[in-house]
């Protein structure tokens, strides 16, 4: 067994799990946080995407024990009380989901994408950076629109001028 | 899916990692784990201990020195792609690494993991061959020509730990890749490097025995470094992989097109 100490959405957590436990199972089975989904379970679909020490990763392909002392952000950590995170709000406004299964991973990938590029995104970059997240319903158009809208909100918030064309 | 029972270990030094390996029954070194863990989840592999080598100091770092670019085995793809040193030294290499897998994979996967796995459709092996790489392990140095030994096979012995890989800086280089639209792995890709002492053309994705050098193309490009030099050539179909994704004839055509595009688009990456 491995004792894993990590911070999940700003809260210190400690969990004793079998060494072979995957990060997504630590979240779902041991911490009861089922917002992070298991989709393909083969590292392709991105439904299990979480942000580990500032980087979007597929939590179905990370050992929980290797996340010792890590800072983890999941979809449960985005909204503040009743107020949705701006990426969640953009997904709602732009109807960027149908069945919703891929949505937690899409949103975490989008949050990390916007942070990494400091909101400086265009459609081509969003589509390139979203290659690790599969959606079988929407055809991606509304997801891309939502991410671009959230990036615009981020820029407005950070008073960063849009990149010159 | 859940792994068979295993023990996770995180050594701080190469010696400690080797000792842990020696004491295991069916041990494996764990780096990014983006091939190893899916194989273990699918119960295609079983290891009684996973030895996480990512925190060993000798396996870190990117440095340019004397015309060679050296990258630690545990350096992640996202770090190589974003490295100003790599971008300045071999722009096509930084660009190539920025096309591996997807964002999430590049945040975790490592150069050492990719090269130790030697997937026949991986990107790194072609760069290693074209850039005349030297592989430093815990016990010796291996040239790329000896290192790659066919599908998923390398010269690494059981328990031999890849420490760093050093690439020879070319005058210029280019990489062109035709991806399988579903898996995003290369159906064919060419890394073309123009060195002071000759041209190297390395092909990944297409060969039935893994990465290989296309010697006829190298000779033609040494004579005249332009895509038209390759017009009369065709890679040997006997050497091509053939599967449900692409038959040998199609792959042979892709090899030529990718090589020509890599010649035409030096110091950058061309994706199809």
Residue A93 has a pLDDT of: 97
> Hey, what's the torsion of the CAs at A95, A101, A107, A112, to 10 degrees?
-150
CATH top-level class for A86-158?
A: mainly alpha
Give how far B151 is from chain A: nearest CA, Å. Answer: 21
Q: What is the pLDDT of residues B162-198, one digit of tens each?
A: 999 999 999 999 999 999 988 889 999 999 999 999 9
Q: Where are the domains of chain B?
A: 7-52, 57-168, 172-271
Contact flag B30-A66 (C-beta cutoff 8 Å): yes
Does the CB of B40 have a partner CB in chain A at under 8 Å? yes
3-state secondary structure of A153: helix
pLDDT (mean) for A82-108: 97
Confidence of residue A161 (pLDDT cuts 50, 70, 90): low
* Percentage of chain A exceeding pLDDT 90: 92
Q: Where are the domains of chain A?
A: 2-77, 86-158
Please give the ipTM for the structure prediction. 0.94
Asked whether the predicted pLDDT for residue A96 surpasses 90, the reply is: yes
Helices (H), chain B: 14-22, 36-41, 77-82, 84-89, 91-97, 103-106, 111-117, 124-130, 144-147, 215-223, 248-264
Does the CB of B1 have a partner CB in chain A at under 8 Å? yes
Assigned fold of B57-168: 3.30.465
CA distance A53 to B268: 30
pTM of this prediction? 0.95
pLDDT (mean) for B19-45: 95
Give how far B104 is from chain A: nearest CA, Å. Answer: 5
Average pLDDT, chain B: 96
CA distance A67 to A62: 8
Confidence of residue B4 (pLDDT cuts 50, 70, 90): confident
CATH top-level class for A2-77?
A: alpha beta
Residue B2 has a pLDDT of: 80
Assigned fold of B172-271: Enolase-like; domain 1 (3.30.390)
Q: What is the CATH number of domain B7-52?
A: 3.30.43.10
Q: What is the pLDDT of residues B67-115, one digit of tens each?
A: 999 999 999 999 999 999 999 999 999 999 999 999 999 999 999 999 9
Contact flag B41-A22 (C-beta cutoff 8 Å): yes
């Amino acid at each position: 067994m491995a004792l894993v100490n990590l911070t999940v959405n700003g809260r210190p957590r400690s969990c004793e799990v079998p060494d072979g436990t995957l990060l997504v199972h630590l979240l779902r089975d041991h911490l009861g946080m089922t917002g992070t989904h298991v989709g393909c379970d083969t590292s392709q679909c991105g439904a299990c995407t979480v942000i580990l020490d500032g980087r979007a990763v597929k939590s179905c392909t990370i050992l929980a024990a290797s996340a010792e002392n890590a800072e983890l952000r999941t979809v449960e950590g985005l909204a503040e009380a009743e107020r949705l995170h701006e990426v969640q709000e953009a997904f709602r406004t732009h109807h960027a989901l149908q069945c919703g299964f891929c949505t937690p991973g899409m949103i975490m990938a989008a949050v990390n994408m916007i942070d990494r590029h400091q909101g400086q995104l265009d459609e081509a970059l969003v589509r390139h950076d979203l290659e690790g997240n599969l959606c079988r319903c929407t055809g991606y158009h509304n997801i891309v629109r939502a991410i671009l809208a959230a990036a615009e909100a981020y820029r407005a918030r950070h008073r960063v001028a849009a990149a010159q064309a | 899916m859940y792994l068979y029972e295993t023990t996770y270990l995180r050594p701080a030094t190469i010696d400690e990692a080797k000792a842990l390996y020696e004491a295991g029954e069916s041990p494996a070194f764990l780096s990014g784990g983006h091939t190893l863990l899916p194989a273990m989840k699918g119960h295609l592999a079983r290891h009684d201990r996973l030895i996480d080598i990512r925190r060993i100091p000798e396996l870190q770092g990117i440095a340019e020195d004397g015309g060679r670019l050296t990258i630690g085995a545990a350096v992640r793809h996202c770090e190589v792609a974003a490295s100003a040193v790599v971008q300045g030294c071999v722009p096509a290499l930084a660009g190539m690494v920025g096309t591996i897998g997807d964002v999430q994979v590049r945040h975790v996967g490592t150069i050492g993991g990719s090269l130790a796995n030697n997937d026949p459709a991986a990107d790194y092996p072609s760069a290693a061959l074209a850039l005349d790489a030297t592989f430093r392990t815990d016990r010796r140095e291996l040239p790329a020509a000896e290192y790659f030994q066919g599908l998923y096979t390398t010269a690494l012995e059981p328990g031999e730990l890849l420490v760093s890989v050093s690439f020879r800086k070319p005058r210029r280089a280019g990489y062109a890749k035709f991806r399988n639209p579903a898996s995003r792995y290369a159906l064919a890709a060419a890394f073309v490097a123009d060195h002071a002492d000759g041209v190297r053309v390395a092909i990944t994705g297409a060969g039935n025995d893994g990465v290989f050098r296309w010697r006829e193309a190298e000779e033609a490009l040494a004579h005249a470094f332009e895509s038209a030099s390759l017009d009369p050539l065709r890679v040997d179909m006997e050497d091509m992989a053939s599967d449900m994704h692409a038959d040998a004839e199609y792959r042979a055509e892709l090899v030529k097109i990718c090589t020509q595009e890599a010649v035409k688009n030096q110091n950058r990456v061309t994706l199809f």
